Amino acid sequence: MEIFEVMLPIAGIKFNVLLLIAIGFCVGTLGGFFGVGGAWIVTPALNIFGFNMSFAIGTDLAHIFGKSIIATRKHNKLGNVDWKLGLTSIFGSIVGVEVGAQVVLMLEAVGNVGPVVRWLYIVLLFGLGIYMLYDYISTTRSLKATPSDSEEPPPESPTGLAPKLHKLKIPPMISLPTSGIKEVSFWIIFAIFFLTGFLSGLLGVGGGFILLPSLIYLVGCPTTVAVGTSLLSVAFMSGYACFSYSLKGRTELVAASIMLVGAAIGAQVGVLATRYVRGLGIRLLFAIMIICAGVSVVLKQAEVSLEMPILSTIAGYAVMLAAGGMTTLIFIKLVKGAVAEKSS
Protein backbone atom coordinates (compact mmCIF):
# COMPACT_ATOMS: atom_id res chain seq x y z
CA MET A 1 0.00 0.00 0.00
CA GLU A 2 3.06 2.24 -0.25
CA ILE A 3 1.64 3.77 -3.42
CA PHE A 4 -0.95 5.59 -1.27
CA GLU A 5 1.61 6.95 1.20
CA VAL A 6 2.18 10.68 1.11
CA MET A 7 5.02 12.63 2.71
CA LEU A 8 3.86 15.14 5.30
CA PRO A 9 6.66 17.74 5.31
CA ILE A 10 5.92 19.55 8.59
CA ALA A 11 5.26 16.49 10.76
CA GLY A 12 8.10 14.66 8.96
CA ILE A 13 6.18 11.39 8.57
CA LYS A 14 4.59 9.36 5.78
CA PHE A 15 0.85 8.77 6.02
CA ASN A 16 -1.72 6.84 4.02
CA VAL A 17 -3.67 9.30 1.88
CA LEU A 18 -6.77 7.03 1.74
CA LEU A 19 -6.87 6.91 5.53
CA LEU A 20 -6.74 10.70 5.71
CA ILE A 21 -9.57 11.01 3.19
CA ALA A 22 -11.62 8.36 5.05
CA ILE A 23 -11.20 10.14 8.40
CA GLY A 24 -12.13 13.44 6.73
CA PHE A 25 -15.17 11.85 5.08
CA CYS A 26 -16.49 10.44 8.39
CA VAL A 27 -16.10 13.66 10.34
CA GLY A 28 -17.39 15.71 7.40
CA THR A 29 -20.57 13.62 7.25
CA LEU A 30 -21.13 13.87 11.00
CA GLY A 31 -20.32 17.60 10.99
CA GLY A 32 -22.73 18.34 8.14
CA PHE A 33 -25.46 16.25 9.75
CA PHE A 34 -25.11 17.25 13.40
CA GLY A 35 -23.43 20.68 13.17
CA VAL A 36 -20.44 19.68 15.29
CA GLY A 37 -16.72 20.14 14.67
CA GLY A 38 -15.83 16.56 15.56
CA ALA A 39 -12.44 17.21 17.19
CA TRP A 40 -13.16 14.41 19.62
CA ILE A 41 -13.20 11.93 16.72
CA VAL A 42 -10.31 13.12 14.53
CA THR A 43 -7.72 13.85 17.21
CA PRO A 44 -7.66 10.29 18.67
CA ALA A 45 -7.91 8.80 15.15
CA LEU A 46 -4.84 10.70 13.89
CA ASN A 47 -2.99 9.95 17.10
CA ILE A 48 -3.70 6.21 16.92
CA PHE A 49 -2.47 6.05 13.30
CA GLY A 50 0.86 7.69 14.08
CA PHE A 51 0.43 11.44 14.42
CA ASN A 52 2.14 13.17 17.30
CA MET A 53 -0.62 14.49 19.64
CA SER A 54 0.52 18.10 19.13
CA PHE A 55 0.13 17.84 15.36
CA ALA A 56 -3.07 15.77 15.64
CA ILE A 57 -4.88 18.60 17.48
CA GLY A 58 -3.67 21.45 15.25
CA THR A 59 -4.22 19.53 12.00
CA ASP A 60 -7.68 18.52 13.11
CA LEU A 61 -8.66 22.11 13.92
CA ALA A 62 -7.32 23.39 10.57
CA HIS A 63 -9.41 20.90 8.60
CA ILE A 64 -12.48 21.60 10.77
CA PHE A 65 -12.19 25.28 9.81
CA GLY A 66 -12.30 24.50 6.07
CA LYS A 67 -14.99 21.86 6.50
CA SER A 68 -17.28 24.09 8.55
CA ILE A 69 -17.12 26.78 5.82
CA ILE A 70 -18.25 24.19 3.26
CA ALA A 71 -21.03 22.81 5.47
CA THR A 72 -22.22 26.27 6.59
CA ARG A 73 -22.50 27.37 2.97
CA LYS A 74 -24.43 24.24 2.06
CA HIS A 75 -26.81 24.67 5.02
CA ASN A 76 -27.17 28.35 4.12
CA LYS A 77 -28.42 27.35 0.67
CA LEU A 78 -31.03 25.13 2.33
CA GLY A 79 -32.10 28.08 4.53
CA ASN A 80 -30.77 26.43 7.69
CA VAL A 81 -28.44 29.18 8.94
CA ASP A 82 -29.75 31.90 11.22
CA TRP A 83 -27.06 34.53 10.62
CA LYS A 84 -28.53 37.00 13.10
CA LEU A 85 -28.51 34.39 15.86
CA GLY A 86 -25.07 33.10 14.86
CA LEU A 87 -23.50 36.55 14.98
CA THR A 88 -25.28 37.43 18.23
CA SER A 89 -23.91 34.21 19.72
CA ILE A 90 -20.30 35.38 19.35
CA PHE A 91 -20.60 37.97 22.16
CA GLY A 92 -21.98 35.61 24.80
CA SER A 93 -19.71 32.75 23.72
CA ILE A 94 -16.49 34.78 23.94
CA VAL A 95 -17.28 36.12 27.42
CA GLY A 96 -18.44 32.65 28.53
CA VAL A 97 -15.31 30.86 27.27
CA GLU A 98 -13.06 33.39 28.97
CA VAL A 99 -14.91 33.10 32.31
CA GLY A 100 -14.90 29.27 32.03
CA ALA A 101 -11.17 29.24 31.33
CA GLN A 102 -10.53 31.55 34.31
CA VAL A 103 -12.51 29.16 36.54
CA VAL A 104 -10.27 26.32 35.31
CA LEU A 105 -7.19 28.36 36.26
CA MET A 106 -8.69 29.00 39.71
CA LEU A 107 -9.48 25.29 40.15
CA GLU A 108 -5.94 24.45 39.06
CA ALA A 109 -4.57 26.74 41.74
CA VAL A 110 -6.74 25.02 44.36
CA GLY A 111 -5.99 21.41 43.45
CA ASN A 112 -6.62 18.57 41.03
CA VAL A 113 -8.76 20.04 38.25
CA GLY A 114 -8.41 17.14 35.76
CA PRO A 115 -10.78 14.54 37.27
CA VAL A 116 -13.32 17.23 38.26
CA VAL A 117 -13.55 18.50 34.69
CA ARG A 118 -13.63 14.98 33.24
CA TRP A 119 -16.46 13.84 35.54
CA LEU A 120 -18.42 17.01 34.76
CA TYR A 121 -17.90 16.24 31.06
CA ILE A 122 -19.19 12.68 31.57
CA VAL A 123 -22.26 13.89 33.49
CA LEU A 124 -22.99 16.47 30.78
CA LEU A 125 -22.59 14.01 27.88
CA PHE A 126 -24.75 11.33 29.49
CA GLY A 127 -27.22 13.90 30.86
CA LEU A 128 -27.76 15.54 27.46
CA GLY A 129 -27.83 12.19 25.67
CA ILE A 130 -30.39 10.66 28.03
CA TYR A 131 -32.55 13.83 28.02
CA MET A 132 -32.58 13.87 24.20
CA LEU A 133 -33.48 10.17 24.11
CA TYR A 134 -36.31 10.83 26.57
CA ASP A 135 -37.47 13.81 24.48
CA TYR A 136 -37.43 11.65 21.35
CA ILE A 137 -39.48 8.87 22.95
CA SER A 138 -42.03 11.21 24.57
CA THR A 139 -42.49 13.33 21.42
CA THR A 140 -42.84 10.23 19.22
CA ARG A 141 -45.49 8.85 21.59
CA SER A 142 -47.47 12.09 21.59
CA LEU A 143 -47.28 12.28 17.79
CA LYS A 144 -48.63 8.73 17.55
CA ALA A 145 -51.40 9.58 20.02
CA THR A 146 -52.63 12.49 17.85
CA PRO A 147 -53.32 10.99 14.43
CA SER A 148 -53.01 13.35 11.47
CA ASP A 149 -54.47 13.14 7.97
CA SER A 150 -51.33 14.59 6.42
CA GLU A 151 -48.44 12.29 5.52
CA GLU A 152 -45.98 15.11 6.17
CA PRO A 153 -44.61 15.30 9.74
CA PRO A 154 -45.99 18.33 11.65
CA PRO A 155 -43.70 21.39 11.86
CA GLU A 156 -41.41 21.48 14.87
CA SER A 157 -42.49 23.75 17.69
CA PRO A 158 -40.13 25.03 20.42
CA THR A 159 -39.58 22.44 23.14
CA GLY A 160 -37.73 22.28 26.44
CA LEU A 161 -37.36 25.59 28.28
CA ALA A 162 -37.58 27.69 25.09
CA PRO A 163 -41.30 28.68 25.27
CA LYS A 164 -40.88 29.88 28.88
CA LEU A 165 -37.72 31.83 28.04
CA HIS A 166 -39.47 33.52 25.10
CA LYS A 167 -42.05 34.95 27.53
CA LEU A 168 -39.44 36.92 29.48
CA LYS A 169 -39.63 40.50 28.19
CA ILE A 170 -36.30 42.11 29.05
CA PRO A 171 -35.40 44.83 26.50
CA PRO A 172 -33.89 44.98 23.95
CA MET A 173 -36.09 42.38 22.23
CA ILE A 174 -34.95 40.83 18.96
CA SER A 175 -36.76 38.75 16.36
CA LEU A 176 -35.22 35.69 14.67
CA PRO A 177 -37.38 35.04 11.60
CA THR A 178 -35.13 32.28 10.21
CA SER A 179 -35.61 30.33 13.44
CA GLY A 180 -39.33 31.15 13.52
CA ILE A 181 -38.96 33.14 16.75
CA LYS A 182 -41.10 36.30 16.77
CA GLU A 183 -39.56 37.94 19.80
CA VAL A 184 -36.92 37.05 22.36
CA SER A 185 -34.83 39.12 24.73
CA PHE A 186 -31.25 39.77 23.59
CA TRP A 187 -30.18 39.07 27.17
CA ILE A 188 -31.74 35.61 27.11
CA ILE A 189 -29.73 34.80 23.97
CA PHE A 190 -26.63 36.32 25.56
CA ALA A 191 -27.14 34.29 28.76
CA ILE A 192 -27.64 31.02 26.83
CA PHE A 193 -24.47 31.50 24.79
CA PHE A 194 -22.61 32.70 27.86
CA LEU A 195 -23.58 29.39 29.52
CA THR A 196 -22.55 27.26 26.53
CA GLY A 197 -19.32 29.27 26.16
CA PHE A 198 -18.67 28.90 29.88
CA LEU A 199 -19.06 25.12 29.65
CA SER A 200 -16.78 25.07 26.58
CA GLY A 201 -14.10 27.00 28.44
CA LEU A 202 -14.52 24.96 31.61
CA LEU A 203 -14.52 21.56 29.93
CA GLY A 204 -12.00 22.42 27.21
CA VAL A 205 -14.20 21.41 24.28
CA GLY A 206 -15.10 23.11 21.00
CA GLY A 207 -18.74 23.35 21.98
CA GLY A 208 -20.73 21.96 19.03
CA PHE A 209 -22.21 19.18 21.14
CA ILE A 210 -23.37 21.67 23.79
CA LEU A 211 -24.49 24.25 21.25
CA LEU A 212 -26.84 22.02 19.25
CA PRO A 213 -29.07 20.96 22.19
CA SER A 214 -28.93 24.52 23.59
CA LEU A 215 -30.17 25.97 20.30
CA ILE A 216 -33.00 23.40 20.21
CA TYR A 217 -34.13 23.31 23.84
CA LEU A 218 -33.17 26.79 25.14
CA VAL A 219 -33.35 29.10 22.11
CA GLY A 220 -36.17 27.15 20.42
CA CYS A 221 -34.65 26.72 16.94
CA PRO A 222 -35.95 24.02 14.59
CA THR A 223 -33.40 21.15 14.54
CA THR A 224 -32.07 21.80 11.02
CA VAL A 225 -31.61 25.54 11.73
CA ALA A 226 -29.83 24.61 14.97
CA VAL A 227 -27.44 22.40 12.96
CA GLY A 228 -26.67 25.14 10.40
CA THR A 229 -26.28 27.89 12.99
CA SER A 230 -24.11 25.68 15.18
CA LEU A 231 -21.82 25.14 12.17
CA LEU A 232 -21.52 28.90 11.66
CA SER A 233 -20.37 29.20 15.26
CA VAL A 234 -17.93 26.27 14.78
CA ALA A 235 -16.49 28.09 11.71
CA PHE A 236 -15.67 31.16 13.80
CA MET A 237 -14.16 29.24 16.68
CA SER A 238 -12.15 26.79 14.56
CA GLY A 239 -10.86 29.66 12.35
CA TYR A 240 -9.38 31.27 15.40
CA ALA A 241 -8.08 27.94 16.76
CA CYS A 242 -6.47 27.08 13.38
CA PHE A 243 -4.54 30.36 13.46
CA SER A 244 -3.55 29.96 17.09
CA TYR A 245 -2.29 26.38 16.68
CA SER A 246 -0.44 27.22 13.46
CA LEU A 247 1.27 30.08 15.25
CA LYS A 248 2.53 27.53 17.75
CA GLY A 249 3.74 25.25 14.96
CA ARG A 250 1.22 22.46 15.48
CA THR A 251 -0.48 22.27 12.08
CA GLU A 252 0.36 19.82 9.29
CA LEU A 253 -1.02 21.75 6.33
CA VAL A 254 -0.71 18.96 3.74
CA ALA A 255 -2.58 16.45 5.92
CA ALA A 256 -5.27 19.01 6.78
CA SER A 257 -5.78 19.79 3.08
CA ILE A 258 -6.12 16.09 2.15
CA MET A 259 -8.56 15.51 5.02
CA LEU A 260 -10.53 18.53 3.85
CA VAL A 261 -11.11 16.88 0.46
CA GLY A 262 -12.68 13.87 2.21
CA ALA A 263 -14.56 16.15 4.61
CA ALA A 264 -15.93 18.19 1.70
CA ILE A 265 -17.54 15.10 0.18
CA GLY A 266 -18.73 13.97 3.62
CA ALA A 267 -20.20 17.39 4.41
CA GLN A 268 -22.29 17.24 1.23
CA VAL A 269 -23.60 13.82 2.29
CA GLY A 270 -24.30 14.99 5.86
CA VAL A 271 -26.05 18.22 4.88
CA LEU A 272 -28.14 16.57 2.15
CA ALA A 273 -29.17 13.83 4.60
CA THR A 274 -30.80 16.47 6.85
CA ARG A 275 -33.35 16.91 4.02
CA TYR A 276 -34.52 13.33 4.41
CA VAL A 277 -34.28 12.77 8.15
CA ARG A 278 -36.89 14.37 10.40
CA GLY A 279 -35.68 16.82 13.07
CA LEU A 280 -36.59 14.25 15.71
CA GLY A 281 -34.52 11.61 13.91
CA ILE A 282 -31.48 13.91 13.95
CA ARG A 283 -31.97 14.41 17.69
CA LEU A 284 -32.13 10.64 18.26
CA LEU A 285 -28.91 9.97 16.32
CA PHE A 286 -27.20 12.90 18.04
CA ALA A 287 -28.21 11.49 21.46
CA ILE A 288 -26.68 8.10 20.55
CA MET A 289 -23.54 9.84 19.28
CA ILE A 290 -22.90 11.85 22.45
CA ILE A 291 -23.59 8.81 24.65
CA CYS A 292 -20.84 7.02 22.64
CA ALA A 293 -18.58 10.04 23.28
CA GLY A 294 -19.46 9.73 26.98
CA VAL A 295 -18.42 6.07 27.00
CA SER A 296 -15.08 7.04 25.44
CA VAL A 297 -14.47 9.67 28.14
CA VAL A 298 -15.37 7.10 30.84
CA LEU A 299 -12.72 4.77 29.35
CA LYS A 300 -10.17 7.59 29.41
CA GLN A 301 -11.02 8.35 33.03
CA ALA A 302 -10.70 4.63 33.84
CA GLU A 303 -7.26 4.64 32.19
CA VAL A 304 -6.13 7.31 34.68
CA SER A 305 -7.81 5.67 37.70
CA LEU A 306 -6.73 2.09 36.91
CA GLU A 307 -3.38 3.04 35.32
CA MET A 308 -4.13 0.94 32.22
CA PRO A 309 -2.86 2.79 29.09
CA ILE A 310 -4.62 0.23 26.83
CA LEU A 311 -7.98 1.75 27.81
CA SER A 312 -7.08 5.01 26.04
CA THR A 313 -6.42 3.07 22.80
CA ILE A 314 -9.71 1.19 23.25
CA ALA A 315 -11.46 4.55 23.75
CA GLY A 316 -9.95 5.84 20.49
CA TYR A 317 -11.04 2.75 18.54
CA ALA A 318 -14.52 2.91 20.16
CA VAL A 319 -14.91 6.51 18.98
CA MET A 320 -13.79 5.61 15.44
CA LEU A 321 -16.12 2.61 15.35
CA ALA A 322 -19.06 4.74 16.51
CA ALA A 323 -18.19 7.47 13.99
CA GLY A 324 -17.87 4.93 11.15
CA GLY A 325 -21.17 3.26 12.08
CA MET A 326 -23.01 6.56 12.31
CA THR A 327 -21.57 7.76 8.98
CA THR A 328 -22.78 4.55 7.31
CA LEU A 329 -26.23 5.01 8.85
CA ILE A 330 -26.46 8.64 7.64
CA PHE A 331 -25.35 7.56 4.15
CA ILE A 332 -28.04 4.85 4.05
CA LYS A 333 -30.69 7.37 5.20
CA LEU A 334 -29.61 9.75 2.42
CA VAL A 335 -29.76 7.07 -0.28
CA LYS A 336 -33.15 5.79 0.95
CA GLY A 337 -34.54 9.34 1.11
CA ALA A 338 -33.26 10.23 -2.36
CA VAL A 339 -34.65 7.01 -3.88
CA ALA A 340 -38.05 7.58 -2.20
CA GLU A 341 -38.10 11.19 -3.43
CA LYS A 342 -37.28 10.16 -6.99
CA SER A 343 -39.94 7.43 -7.06
CA SER A 344 -42.62 9.79 -5.71
Q: Which residues of this chain interact with other proteins, rule CB under 8 A?
A: 7, 9-10, 12, 39-40, 43, 53-54, 57, 61-63, 65-70, 72-74, 76-77, 87, 90, 94, 97-98, 100-102, 104, 117, 200-201, 203-207, 232, 235-251, 253-254, 256-257, 260-261, 264-265, 268
Query: In the complex, what is the shortest distance from the CB of residue 211 to other proteins, in angstroms, rounded to a whole number?
Result: 13
Q: Which residues of 137-159 are buried (b: 16+ CB within 10 A; e: fewer)?
A: eebeeeeeeeeeeeeeeeebebe
CB of residue 102 vs other proteins: minimum separation in angstroms? 7
CB of residue 143 vs other proteins: minimum separation in angstroms?
Answer: 32
What is the spatial distance between Cα 205 and Cα 209, in angstroms, rounded to a whole number? 9
Contact between 196 and 85 (Cβ < 8 Å): no
Residue 76, number of CB atoms within 10 A of its CB: 15
Amino acid at 315: A
Closest CB to other proteins among residues 97, 282: 97
CB 28 within 8 A of CB 267: yes
Per the CB < 8 A criterion, the answer to whether 225 and 210 are in contact is no
Of residues 84 and 166, the one with the C-beta less far from other proteins: 84
Q: Exposed, middle or buried: residue 243 (CB in 10 Å: 0-12, 13-18, 19+)?
A: middle
CA 152: distance to chain centroid? 28
Identify whether the C-beta of residue 105 lies closer than 8 Å to the C-beta of residue 62. no
Among residues 105 and 332, whose Cβ is nearest to other proteins? 105
Cα separation, 208 vs 120, in Å, equals 17
**Taking the complex as a whole, how short is the minimal distance between the CB of residue 274 and other proteins, in angstroms?**
15
Of 12 and 153, nearer to other proteins (C-beta) is: 12
CB of 214 to other proteins, least distance (A): 16
Of residues 176 and 237, the one with the C-beta less far from other proteins:
237
The whole-angstrom separation of Cα 181 and Cα 191 is 17
Toward other proteins, which CB reaches closer, 8 or 184? 8
Minimum separation from the CB atom of position 138 to other proteins (A): 32
